[in-house]
Amino acid sequence: MTRSGTLMFRAISIFSILGISLIVQAGALNAASVEERLEQINRMPEKSRAETLEKEARKEGELVWYAAMASDRAAELIKAFESKYPFLKIRFQPGGAGRQLEQLLIEHRTKKQRADIINTRRCYVGVMAKAGAVIRYRTPLRSALRDGFTDKEGFINGIYAPPRVFLYNTRMIARDKAPQSFEDLLDPRWKDKSGMDTTDYDWLASLIDYYGRGKALEFAGKLAKQQLNLRRGPTLLAQLAVAGEFPVVVDAFPEEIMQMKNAKAPAEFVFSEPFVAVKTPTTVSIASGAPHPHAAALFSPSQGRT
């Protein structure tokens, strides 16, 4: 290769490296700009902030919501939101919390962002934040949310925290025979007759909060010896219980049971004694690469409008 050819090759290589570096930097800046832009808007006076969000959201026209929530319950929120903001269309993608988390992280890694917002378990927010897949969203209206529904950093914006109850099949168990307390679950008659979600970390956390770590883990160990019917997902567990696979579910959601009752299914629930386990708040997070960040900001519970 001639000297001039060598110099040309080096020049092309340098520019190629610079080009790749600029692309990577641009991607990082774009991810940061979502948080920075919304942070700027949140520093505006209340009226100006609301007007700016709506103005920019009108240009976006839609938002994509990854929701770990039953479609019928999400439909109520979507109806209320779209009636308030008729210029916005919500594209709803339902699914389990774990699956939604995996999808968001894949989109973030591949820079093929589709989701604007994701609602999921609070315990997953740290994973998303560490990966850089979600942003801090801090408006002055966050102060209206109750204790436990926000964090200091701005990643947590809770929307609801449902209780956990005992579900029982009314064709298999009379109400006065159903378990009433956590201690009741250890009775030999419930051996191999109780179902539980394999991913219900919040349930164990509630026991630790109430009893303390030592006693809670001791109880969990005794309960494990009851040959629990372990499945993934509360909806599946509830369906199996009313189908007669087992008569009791330890950690069911009362709203799902109410829906089953309305459909004439043999389902009922009991609030446990001596306390009712409560799921940590389900949160709404804005994706760091959200294609429609202003619409997503309007949807956030901390905006106080949905």
Residue 275 located in a structural domain: no
CB-side exposure of 17: number of CA atoms within 13 Å?
Answer: 5
Instruction: Look at residue 243 and tell me whether its pLDDT is greater than 80.
Output: yes
Q: What is the CATH number of the domain that holds 153?
A: 3.40.190.10
| Domain shared by 126 and 226, yes or no | no
- Which structural domain range is residue 18 located in? 9-160+282-303
| Domain shared by 28 and 56, yes or no | yes
- pLDDT tens column, 100-135: 899 999 999 999 999 999 988 888 899 999 999 999
What pLDDT score was predicted for residue 123? 80
Structure-model confidence comparison of residues 204 and 247, the more confident one: 247
The H-or-E segment that residue 183 falls in is none
pTM of the model: 0.69
| Domain shared by 52 and 95, yes or no | yes
Residue 296 located in a structural domain: yes
| Domain shared by 207 and 147, yes or no | no
CA distances from 181 to 37, 105, 178, 194, 276 (A): 50, 39, 9, 13, 9
| Domain shared by 176 and 144, yes or no | no
* Residue pair 155/131 in contact by the 8 Å Cβ criterion: no
In sequence order, the β-bridge partners of residue 89 are 62
| Domain shared by 141 and 24, yes or no | yes
Mean pLDDT over the full length of the chain: 85
In sequence order, the β-bridge partners of residue 63 are 90
Task: Record the tokens describing residue 302, joined without a space.
Answer: 């901390």
| Domain shared by 70 and 144, yes or no | yes
Alpha helices (H) along the chain: 3-42, 46-60, 71-84, 97-110, 122-131, 201-211, 213-224, 234-242, 254-262, 293-299
